[in-house]
Amino acid sequence: MKAAVISFPGSNCDQDLAWAFQEIAGIDTDIVSASETTLAGYDIVGVPGGFSYGDYLRSGAIASFSPIMPALKAHAENGGLVIGICNGFQILCEAGLLPGALQWNKSLSFICAPEELAVVNTDTPFSNAYEPEQTITLPIAHGEGNYYADPDTLAKLEANQQVVFRYRDNPNGSLNDIAGLTNAAGNVLGMMPHPERAVEALLGGTDGLGVFESLKQEVLANAAR
């Protein structure tokens, strides 16, 4: 079992995500530069938070053209697991791996705070370790976390049960209180809150552990099939 964490110029959560995979979940993990062109041999790919390429243009827009992106798209198309967190969520949307877009928070200001989330779909590779409708608390830290999609896309997301996490008290104006969602196939997740910052009690909570436990169990289950 092996995970890759893609590091873009401006990423600042790559080490945090690698630590959660490697030291907390016990998954062998490499940090892979966005200038690489292959992701062969990895079961899970993490796209971390930060300010890729300084967040010029739109957040994640420049990163979506990085040399690693064709390999990331191929990994996802072949059923590989992908998780994008915060800026990683923005990058996945810009690259077309997830529907919709992240725009400025309704307050037009950066928000850094713990937020309560409801786990509304536990039948995914990213959430199967949680209980249905379980409330968890994860930190957010973003200026452009306001999820938007057109009405038809939103209807499809809801009908297909692609929404995995919702805010209990929406902090940024995201439509339908969406905090995290998957692609139609269910193997790519984007979420604005940071589970990798909530995996040790020393850091204030362990509610993010379920994301990494879920991924680990999914890879083990796939290997046993």
Catalytic residue among 94, 115, 144, 196: 196
Alpha-carbon dihedral of residues 49, 55, 58, 60, nearest 10 degrees? -40
How many angstroms separate the CA atoms of 212 and 199, rounded? 9
Catalytic residue among 13, 86, 93, 142: 86
Is residue 18 within 8 Å of 47, Cβ to Cβ?
no
Tell me what pLDDT residue 6 has.
98
Catalytic residue among 13, 93, 94, 194: 194
Tell me what pLDDT residue 131 has.
97
Tell me what pLDDT residue 38 has.
98
Is residue 163 within 8 Å of 121, Cβ to Cβ?
yes
Closest residue by Cα to residue 126 from 15, 40, 209, 223: 209
- Digits of tens for pLDDT over the chain (225 positions)? 999 999 999 999 999 999 999 999 999 999 999 999 999 999 999 999 999 999 988 899 999 999 999 999 999 999 999 999 999 999 999 999 999 999 999 999 999 999 999 999 999 999 999 999 999 999 999 999 999 999 999 999 999 999 999 999 999 999 999 999 999 999 999 999 999 999 999 989 999 999 999 999 999 988 887
48: tokens are 């971390």
196 is catalytic: yes
Full DSSP string of 58-126: STTTTGGGSTTHHHHHHHHHTT-EEEEETHHHHHHHHTTSSSSEEE--TTSS-EEEEEEEEE---SSTT
Residue boundaries of the structural domains of the chain: 2-224
Tell me what pLDDT residue 57 has.
84
Tell me what pLDDT residue 222 has.
84
Tell me what pLDDT residue 223 has.
80
Assessment of whether the complete model's pTM goes beyond 0.95: yes
77 is catalytic: no
CATH architecture of 2-224: 3-Layer(aba) Sandwich (3.40)
User: In b/e form, how buried is each residue of 50-86, taking b as 16+ CB within 10 angstroms?
Assistant: bbbbebeeebbbbbbebebbebbbebbeeebbbbbbb
Tell me what pLDDT residue 167 has.
98
